[in-house]
Amino acid sequence: MTPAVLKNIDTLALDCLITIGGDDTLSYASKLDRQGMKVIAVPKTMDNDVRNTEYCIGFSTAITRAMDAIDRQRTTVGSHEHIGLFRVFGRDAGYTALYTAYVTGLRCCIPEYKVDLAHLIDLLINDKRENPSNYSLAVLSEGAEWQGYTLKEYGEADAFGHRKKMSVAEDLREEIRRATGEEAVVSDLTYDLRSASPDFVDRLVAFTFAGMAMDALEESKSGLMTAINEGHYAMVPIPDSNLGPRKVDVASMYDTERYCPRHDHKTGLPFFLTQP
């Protein structure tokens, strides 16, 4: 489609493009830059998985929405004494699930690490028994898997080759029922996290990224992306599309025994740092 895109750009007499989006959008922005179109990119994805930046617009709002939804549903899950499973976006990277679990104190499963199913179920059952209200909760990325399990896909592939994924939370619910007889309730938070107004952090970063993009264009720069690195605003190269999305550093960020985020040894690290 690139020849048609370039023809439309020429017809519209555009001098430059500011492309706003995630890994797929920015990979095509990089291609347009190589075709000679002046491009400045702005990272925006609730998955927060764009390379060369610690933060993408939408991430904070998504976590805030997930936190609110989980806190509201604790009452219902607790009153029925069930296990609550919350599915969030994250096809290839588990940042949304990881940080939702971080601020809600839950277990989580992420695409970067295949958990042991029996151990996961034991943890959830133990959490439930030790809870005075007799319930437990967990957050799962849409791309999470366990050992011996492959997530099923359905539908036609999109322009970037991605098909929709079946719900791993629904499959886990069946595994819990089969192994223990316990009932689990599934809540799909995916699209709900992308709705309503952005929170303070996302408004702040979005306004700042907009100003940075305009500054770069006024300086006749191209092929760059607005970013936050080590807590500082920066202009960086648009990520190499061949590298794919940025992923969770399991060794430093995820507890592979307890299936939850690591909360220790944060002193001295930048606020937005998502991996070393």
pLDDT digits (tens, 9 = 90+) for 24-42: 899 899 999 999 999 999 9
Are 71 and 47 found together in one domain? no
Domain hosting residue 151, numbered range: 59-196+249-261
Same domain, 82 and 142: yes
- DSSP codes, 176-205: HHHHH---EEEEE-TGGGG-S---HHHHHH
Asked if 89 and 113 sit in the same domain, the reply is yes
Contact 234, 228 (CB under 8 A): yes
- Here the CATH number for the domain that contains residue 140 is 3.40.50.460
d(CA 258, CA 188): 23
Identify whether residues 101 and 144 lie together within a single domain: yes
User: What's the confidence (pLDDT) of residue 150?
Assistant: 79
Contacts for 133 with CB less than 8 Å, ≥ 6 apart? 78, 81
Q: Is 155 among the domain residues?
A: yes
Count of the separate structural domains present in the chain: 2
Q: Are residues 31 and 118 in the same domain?
A: no
Residues of the chain with pLDDT under 70: 153-155, 158-163, 165, 272-276
Q: Does residue 192 share a domain with residue 71?
A: yes
> pTM surpassing 0.85?
yes
75, 138, 172 from 176: Cα distances, Å = 21, 13, 6
**Per-residue model confidence (pLDDT) at position 276:** 46
What CATH number is given to the structural domain containing 203? 3.40.50.450
pLDDT score of 256:
96
**How high is the pLDDT of residue 163?**
66
Catalytic residues: 47
For residues 39 and 139, membership in a common domain is answered with no
Do 204 and 188 share a domain, yes or no?
no
- Note whether residue 90 is domain-resident: yes
